[in-house]
Structure 1
Amino acid sequence: MIKRPPLQIVVIVCFLLFAGVLGQYLKPTEFSTVVAADFVLEDIVPTEFGEWYEDQYIKAVQPLEQSTLADKIYNQSISRSYRNANGDLIMLVIAYGRHQSDNLQLHLPETCYAANGFKVGNPVVAKIPLEQGGAGLLPAKRLFTSNGPRREPVTYWTRVGDDIPVSQRERQIGKLLYGLSGKIPDGILIRVSSFGDLNDQSFELHDTFIQDLLAIVPEDTLPLFLGNLSSKQEIL
């Protein structure tokens, strides 16, 4: 006589089978981008703008070593250093990925700096004014990194889909909501950094550079950097 499995086990097995089928049904398949997919970062971000010009001798910490995985995560990237008339230096890294999923997602500065041997302080959330008077605010993160004599304050933000999350929880929720709609969002990381100690002057320089950069980005590509935030205020 064959003994029947307990009802509880039958229910669990049925639930797992149902969850597997539902997961496949809800698996996102449609790529979603906030701007036309044929944009070129090199064309959008000039080597000279305002009082800033490129300094080709200073190299920024890279978001990820060159590898097959990096090629899958990032479709386009820019790594440049800029100086202004006062000689102030800003390092800019922009990394764009067409699809953000659990397996492929932006590598945050906390991870890439640590992987390059830096000590990384706890990040704090900041609100960067996007126009005069501070009417528009960009949520970003700031952290301080050091590696021997190299001391580097960092400001960065990420966009996933239409949103600018400031925590891993917000990023995961955003991707989940996209997934439920059958879409795979794109994403971008924008990071600026400089050499020096941890102080307000360093971050004020970052903010000035960010404001100057966003001011010259073509209006139709602003969503690439700001998502829905680009339609809520005018960038001056």
Structure 2
Amino acid sequence: MFAGLAATASAGAIAFRRAQQEVPVGRGTILTHLPAQLGSWHLQAARADMIDPVVVDIAFSQALEMYDRVIERDYVSPVLPRIMLNIAYKREVRQEERFHWPEFCYATQGFHVKRLAPIALGPAGDNVTLTQFVGQREERRERVGYFMRIGNAVPSGSLAVRAALFRQSLAMHLPDGVMVRASFLEDDIAQGGATTPADLLARFFRELVQTASAPLGEILVNKHPKSI
């Protein structure tokens, strides 16, 4: 009996190691190939991957060390607010080493965080559901939205993330993952305009998901699924 269990465990360990090797090492570099145009927004030229937090505290520094790639870019428009896009990529996502929640990172930087209702992007947005909140510190009021891809799933909320990791661990998958976050300053919305902050956030994410083609779309939302 014990020999059988040992053989099963050994086979599981081999499969798990193979799963680790199925995500190419350079996959995160594809994230630098972002679309030049997203609707009314265009990608602002950047010298390199940018990490410029308001306050680099211990929690934020530890969060950055968790990721294999962090991309920060700005999308600008002559008529719409500047969008600050952040993408964090992990080649291996585990229950004990998941993504840091943006709400926590904002709170550690002195923002008062107010959670808001999630936004379902619908079929046009590959059925992504955005988590959104407002971070406010003094006069700065920032609208933030984000989603995660964990392996072949795009879960919404902590319980769904845990469940996605559990399901993939049962299948001996050690998935990679990505967190896509975008934000803008609410004061940048034109006064008296018909666009609400939530609508603007959803509009940007729909443009991003719809415009991203393979292999970028696969990394962001599993747009062209394959075995991981």
Same fold (TM over 0.5): yes
- Aligned mates of 1:195, 1:186 — CA distance in 2: 31
What is the aligned counterpart of 1:104 among 97, 104, 119? 97
Aligned residue runs from structure 1 range 124-135, under 5 A:
124-129=117-122, 131=124
Q: Which residue is equivalent to 1:211?
A: 206
Q: Which residue is equivalent to 2:108?
A: 115
- Measured against aligned partners, the alpha-carbon deviations of 1:65-98 in whole angstroms (never above 9, x if no partner) come to 335x633x21111112221121521111110111
Judged with a 3 Å threshold, the aligned counterparts in structure 2 of structure 1 residues 87 and 174 are, in CA distance, closer, same or farther, namely closer
Aligned residue runs from structure 1 range 5-154, under 5 A:
28-29=16-17, 30-31=19-20, 37-39=25-27, 40-46=29-35, 48-53=37-42, 54=44, 65-67=60-62, 70-71=64-65, 73-129=66-122, 131=124, 137-154=127-144
Aligned length: 205
What's the offset of the Cα at 1:170?
Answer: 1.2
Judged with a 3 Å threshold, the aligned counterparts in structure 2 of structure 1 residues 32 and 223 are, in CA distance, closer, same or farther, namely farther
What is the aligned counterpart of 2:184 among 173, 194, 198? 194
Aligned partners of 1:41 and 1:77 also within 8 Å? no
Aligned partners of 1:44 and 1:217 also within 8 Å? no
Q: CA RMSD in A?
A: 3.6
What's the offset of the Cα at 1:218?
Answer: 2.2
Aligned partners of 1:60 and 1:81 also within 8 Å? no
What's the offset of the Cα at 1:36?
Answer: 5.0
- Measured against aligned partners, the alpha-carbon deviations of 1:124-179 in whole angstroms (never above 9, x if no partner) come to 22101453xx8x53212111111111101111111111111112111111111221
Aligned partner of 2:73: which letter?
R
Larger radius of gyration: 1
Judged with a 3 Å threshold, the aligned counterparts in structure 2 of structure 1 residues 153 and 55 are, in CA distance, closer, same or farther, namely farther
Aligned partners of 2:133 and 2:144 also within 8 Å? yes
Aligned partner of 2:139: which letter?
P
SS in 1 for 2:145: strand
- Aligned mates of 2:86, 2:132 — CA distance in 1: 15
What's the offset of the Cα at 1:62?
Answer: 8.7
Judged with a 3 Å threshold, the aligned counterparts in structure 2 of structure 1 residues 60 and 201 are, in CA distance, closer, same or farther, namely farther
Aligned partner of 2:71: which letter?
I
Q: Which residue is equivalent to 1:159?
A: 149
Q: Which residue is equivalent to 1:6?
A: none
Q: Normalising to structure 2: TM-score of the pair?
A: 0.74
Gaps of 5+ in 1: 1-21
Aligned partners of 1:60 and 1:91 also within 8 Å? no
What is the aligned counterpart of 2:215 among 217, 220, 223? 220
What's the offset of the Cα at 1:213?
Answer: 2.2
Judged with a 3 Å threshold, the aligned counterparts in structure 2 of structure 1 residues 190 and 142 are, in CA distance, closer, same or farther, namely same
Gaps of 5+ in 2: 1-7
